[in-house]
A and B are shown apart, each in its own frame.
Chain A
Amino acid sequence: MKLLHKDIEKDNAGQVTLMPEEAEDMWHTYNLLQVGDSLRASTIRKVQTESPTGSVGSSRVRTTLTLCVETIDFDSQACQLRVKGTNLEENQYVKMGAYHTIELELNRKFTLAKKSWDSVVLDRIEQACDATQKADVAAVVMQEGLANLVLVTPAMTLLRAKVEVTIPRKRRGSCTQHEKVAVMVYCLLSFLLLPFLLVVKCILVASPGFVKDQFITYLFKEAVRHDNKILLENRPKFMLVHSSSGHKYSLKEILSDPTVTNRLSDTKAAGEVKALEDFYKMLQHEPDRAFYGLAHVEKAAEALAIDTLLISDKLFRHQDVPTRSRYVRLVDNVRDNGGNVRIFSSLHVSGEQLTQLSGVAAILRFPIADLSEPEDDSSSDDD
């Protein structure tokens, strides 16, 4: 993302002009937007024209609109962001107060104005504009009959493809069906993998047992047979890792594998996984130094005890302003007291797990007696 213009006043109101360059920037923008902000961007509007003869025709016009944001939709698979709102500025095609949905496009600048810019949001802009952290990794986790193809970017983990097949098991007397189906799966996978070869830095292939070896052997045998240059050139990008299953959460295991972390030390995803692991280790060894749940963590923050705060960015997308500011205050509090704040992207596997754990967790500097309140259940049960 490119930061084109920033204009923030003393009372934290102001506007910022950004230009998204890749899909991930859409995700960052999604986290920046809030209900009530105003967004100016170029968009296409269908305009009804009435000719003198009375016949009505419609045409599509490109114009710049300023909206007061009401609804935000993010499609994670396609990385599309659509913003619905009412018109704020006079425009020759659109009336004031009329509704419009802007679909933000890549490489087109937009201006975002907020009433108050807090630290979390400013952080995110900086992160998004930071050009260094751009490692992309593709990972294939598989097991017998199941394969997940995932693209891991610094801020998102996108499931690109999932292959699920019932493989007939070994039976007395006929084993060939098993092999046939396995080969079919590999063929499909290699086909799906091709688009990613050039884009990513590294491709991880993980599975329990020998499935990964079989897959790689098959892949390169076919590459040699069809003389597929792209595949052969990118051979060093492939890395074999062991995982315990083919489901998506095994990604966590892979990313914490030491050989992988060496190779991908600059990936944000790996860092998040490690932080979460540290939290769990602390929970096991010294449960009084590891807290989760908003109420507990806030209490710990008041006691100035928090060393590391783990918080999921899903909480900041909360549209309810007082709740959001509560979280922001927590973050600021911890930062002021010299603690680390790690904001987990909720699209990563580790972020998903943190969200399940109520979204906020903390590792403390010193143990605090366990404040268990039997009456209140801080974790909300959303069905």
Chain B
Amino acid sequence: MSRHRNVRGYNYDEDFDDDDMYGQSVDDDYCCISPATANQFIYSRQERQAPKEEPLEEEEYEDESKAYSFVPLFPLAKSRDVSHNKLDSEVVPKVARMTVSGKKQTMGFDVPRYLTHISQGENGVVTASLRRGGSPENATATPASETTSKRPETPSKGSNGDEPSTVPTPGRSSGKARQTINIKAELEKRQGGKPLLNLVVIGHVDAGKSTLMGHLLYLLGNVNKRTMHKYEQESKKAGKASFAYAWVLDETGEERDRGVTMDVGMTKFETNSKVVTLMDAPGHKDFIPNMITGAAQADVAVLVVDASRGEFEAGFEAGGQTREHALLVRSLGVTQLAVAVNKMDQVNWQQERFQDITSKLGHFLKQAGFKESDVFYIPTSGLSGENLTTRSSVAQLTSWYSGRSLLEQIDAFKAPQRSVDKPFRLCVSDVFKDQGSGFCVTGKIEAGYIQTGDRILAMPPNETCNVKGITLHDEALDWAAAGDHVSLTVTGMDIIKINVGCVFCDTKEPIRVCTRFRARILLFNIEVPITQGFPVLLHYQTVSEPATIRKLISVLHKSSGEVLKKKPKCLSKGMNAIVEIQTQRPVSLELYKDYKELGRFMLRYVGSTIAAGVVTEVK
């Protein structure tokens, strides 16, 4: 009978959707033994592909993965070893490892970790080959084997294929020599040694952000000629011929109709030494909440300004978005900025215009807090494609400009340090129901790492769920670490409970939830003074929640931080103050001193940003 029916390969997990009770015997009930031990010692037929093997070595526990996370370079790299034959050999070593179980619990892992990505022909990380008893066999599994497993959770011992290869070159691993990247098996991943970078494109409305990026993607080959041609034709038909490149990123019907980007468009591309997640933000004032969501997840930014006469001035003055966007990204923690002075072909690549813009912007950005050494200015033309991927050949430009092209500049950005060793945190930016059981959440992992099969906790609903699958840029993975923008398929929870703004965290170290908290804020240029009871809109990561300023506690001196005045009557622009904020609904927050990225927030009122702040205390 097993000839005709796929009995062995039957995926019982799919059968009983979210119900943990069925399909497992009562003995498996997690009240008696911990899931980790259960996974380790109790043979489950579903795990017929590589059984969960708890790594034994001490080295593993020393460092919580401080490793980087990298996007797989080639699809092939995503090979998983389905080693049925290893089954027997590994059951034996398992028994021998019983003694270590106690220590394992502290790791909080239910699923053994494996390196899932082997890049072909690359110097992968040497995992502790000593660790695994069955490694000789593993070495036989070639990296190229691309057996697709039925379930994304299949742990793979892919890394083993790399073991014979050399020790990772630390220099290549990340922009900075991280000798902390250790042999922690699964979580040392370097797909081709390219660190991941999150880039956001900001600027005033109609500065040319979408067109610039669309053209860049086209030149890099991410968009094929036929698709481009199709866009050109359709946009011409719609009467928006100049928006052809922008259509690469603006995909919804409405965005194309109106010719504006309304929501952050996400995609990825690669440069010589980086894998870049691109977020194209809307420039319109009304869509700033969406732009904040995108910018909160970014590490570096490209500010696009329009060089045409009058346009730059319009964007740069008080009501324009150039200032607001720059301030926002700075407040959200971005330190490196590339300014693309766009539409230079409209001003005939004049040097004086470029200098003019550069000096004005430079002055402003310095005030905003950007270091001069971290800001770069590049003249470009999005529509014609000059100076995007290669150095320009336009004579008018090369006569006075010999700096980098946009792509080279993006390549030259320093990738930031990721806090992979902190407890897992992921801010949900999108929730939707995909095919299959469970539902998908998208977001950027702010700290820590995650694997398929993990149990994670969602706050504020305070519910746990299982991670069924991880997808990064449309490719399924088994793990992901801080800095990745992934979409998780989770089961075991009601989709209603999760909305944009929830934070998924480690079950052992949950994030705090509150309605009142104290914060230190810096006020921008505001017209209306802030008094007690002032209603504002709190923007924290992906959350946007109405809140009131409950109490004005004190005013601080801008640079020294000492208290100038206690219990002030009101706050006006430029002040640095400590206030107590109360939100309508509970939000999950982290203190600034624990997590630099997660401790920042913005306050907006009537369509403009009035303050940026950091969380100092949670009540």
* Interfacial chain B residues near A214, Cβ < 8 Å: 254
Choose, from A78-86, A114-122, A196-204, A374-382, the stretch at the interface: A374-382
Choose, from B145-153, B160-168, B181-189, B424-432, the stretch at the interface: B424-432
In the complex, the answer to whether B537 meets A287 with C-beta atoms within 8 Å is no
In the complex, the answer to whether A172 meets B287 with C-beta atoms within 8 Å is no
In the complex, the answer to whether A171 meets B430 with C-beta atoms within 8 Å is yes
In the complex, the answer to whether B432 meets A280 with C-beta atoms within 8 Å is no
In the complex, the answer to whether A358 meets B532 with C-beta atoms within 8 Å is yes
Instruction: Across the interface, name the chain A residue whose C-beta is closest to B548.
Output: A356
A175 to B567, CA, bound (A): 49
A209 to B260, CA, bound (A): 10
* Interfacial chain A residues near B499, Cβ < 8 Å: 166
A242 to B442, CA, bound (A): 30
In the complex, the answer to whether A283 meets B442 with C-beta atoms within 8 Å is no
* Interfacial chain B residues near A283, Cβ < 8 Å: 529, 531, 570
Which of B258, B528, B607 interacts with A208 by CB under 8 Å? Answer: B607
In the complex, the answer to whether A353 meets B535 with C-beta atoms within 8 Å is yes
A301 to B534, CA, bound (A): 25
In the complex, the answer to whether A172 meets B527 with C-beta atoms within 8 Å is no
**Chain A CB within 8 A of B348 CB:** no
In the complex, the answer to whether B431 meets A166 with C-beta atoms within 8 Å is yes
A281 to B604, CA, bound (A): 18
**Chain B CB within 8 A of A179 CB:** yes
A378 to B553, CA, bound (A): 14
* Interfacial chain B residues near A38, Cβ < 8 Å: none
A175 to B262, CA, bound (A): 12
* Interfacial chain A residues near B255, Cβ < 8 Å: 170
Instruction: Across the interface, name the chain B residue whose C-beta is closest to A242.
Output: B286
* Interfacial chain A residues near B252, Cβ < 8 Å: 170, 175, 178-179
In the complex, the answer to whether A169 meets B535 with C-beta atoms within 8 Å is no
**Chain B CB within 8 A of A14 CB:** no
In the complex, the answer to whether B569 meets A249 with C-beta atoms within 8 Å is no
In the complex, the answer to whether B566 meets A209 with C-beta atoms within 8 Å is no
In the complex, the answer to whether A292 meets B527 with C-beta atoms within 8 Å is no
Which of A168, A242, A253, A280 interacts with B431 by CB under 8 Å? Answer: A168
* Interfacial chain B residues near A281, Cβ < 8 Å: 528
A370 to B567, CA, bound (A): 13
* Interfacial chain A residues near B431, Cβ < 8 Å: 166, 168
**Chain B CB within 8 A of A284 CB:** yes
* Interfacial chain A residues near B429, Cβ < 8 Å: 169
**Chain B CB within 8 A of A357 CB:** yes
In the complex, the answer to whether B533 meets A357 with C-beta atoms within 8 Å is yes
Tell me how far the C-beta of B610 lies from the nearest C-beta in chain A, rounded to whole angstroms.
Answer: 12
**Chain A CB within 8 A of B267 CB:** yes
* Interfacial chain A residues near B284, Cβ < 8 Å: 209
Tell me how far the C-beta of B422 lies from the nearest C-beta in chain A, rounded to whole angstroms.
Answer: 27
Interface size class of A (residues with CB under 8 A): 35 or more
Known contacts A208-B607, A209-B287; decide if A172 and B532 are in contact (CB<8 Å): no
**Chain A CB within 8 A of B251 CB:** yes
**Chain A CB within 8 A of B500 CB:** yes
* Interfacial chain B residues near A250, Cβ < 8 Å: 606
**Chain B CB within 8 A of A34 CB:** no
**Chain A CB within 8 A of B62 CB:** no
Contact with A along B531-566 (1 / 0, CB 8 A): 111110100000000101001000000000000001
**Chain A CB within 8 A of B253 CB:** yes
In the complex, the answer to whether A171 meets B567 with C-beta atoms within 8 Å is no
In the complex, the answer to whether A372 meets B569 with C-beta atoms within 8 Å is yes
Known contacts A210-B254, A244-B607; decide if A287 and B569 are in contact (CB<8 Å): yes
Instruction: Across the interface, name the chain B residue whose C-beta is closest to A354.
Output: B533
**Chain B CB within 8 A of A177 CB:** yes
* Interfacial chain B residues near A87, Cβ < 8 Å: none
**Chain B CB within 8 A of A29 CB:** no
Contact with B along A150-170 (1 / 0, CB 8 A): 000000000000000010111
* Interfacial chain A residues near B532, Cβ < 8 Å: 356-358, 379
**Chain A CB within 8 A of B506 CB:** no
**Chain B CB within 8 A of A317 CB:** no
**Chain B CB within 8 A of A247 CB:** yes
Tell me how far the C-beta of A173 lies from the nearest C-beta in chain B, rounded to whole angstroms.
Answer: 8
**Chain B CB within 8 A of A245 CB:** yes
A253 to B605, CA, bound (A): 10
A336 to B460, CA, bound (A): 54
**Chain B CB within 8 A of A66 CB:** no
**Chain A CB within 8 A of B594 CB:** no
In the complex, the answer to whether A355 meets B253 with C-beta atoms within 8 Å is no
In the complex, the answer to whether A374 meets B572 with C-beta atoms within 8 Å is no
* Interfacial chain A residues near B537, Cβ < 8 Å: 245, 247
Q: Which of A180-217 touch B at CB < 8 Å? A: 208-210, 214
Which of B251, B551, B606 interacts with A172 by CB under 8 Å? Answer: B251
Instruction: Across the interface, name the chain A residue whose C-beta is closest to B570.
Output: A283
A289 to B191, CA, bound (A): 65
A178 to B290, CA, bound (A): 15
Instruction: Across the interface, name the chain A residue whose C-beta is closest to B266.
Output: A172
Which of A166, A242, A284, A356 interacts with B527 by CB under 8 Å? Answer: A284
Contacts A284-B528, A357-B533 known; list 20 others, CB within 8 Å: A166-B431, A168-B431, A170-B265, A171-B430, A172-B251, A172-B265, A172-B474, A177-B432, A179-B253, A210-B254, A242-B286, A244-B606, A245-B537, A247-B546, A248-B546, A280-B528, A281-B528, A287-B529, A287-B570, A379-B532
A sample of 11 cross-chain residue pairs with beta-carbon separation below 8 angstroms, ordered by A number, consists of A171-B266, A172-B267, A175-B253, A177-B432, A208-B607, A245-B607, A249-B546, A292-B531, A353-B534, A357-B531, A358-B533
Report which A residues bind B (CB closer than 8 A): 166, 168-173, 175, 177-179, 208-210, 214, 242, 244-245, 247-250, 253, 280-281, 283-284, 287, 292, 353, 355-358, 370, 372, 374, 377, 379, 381
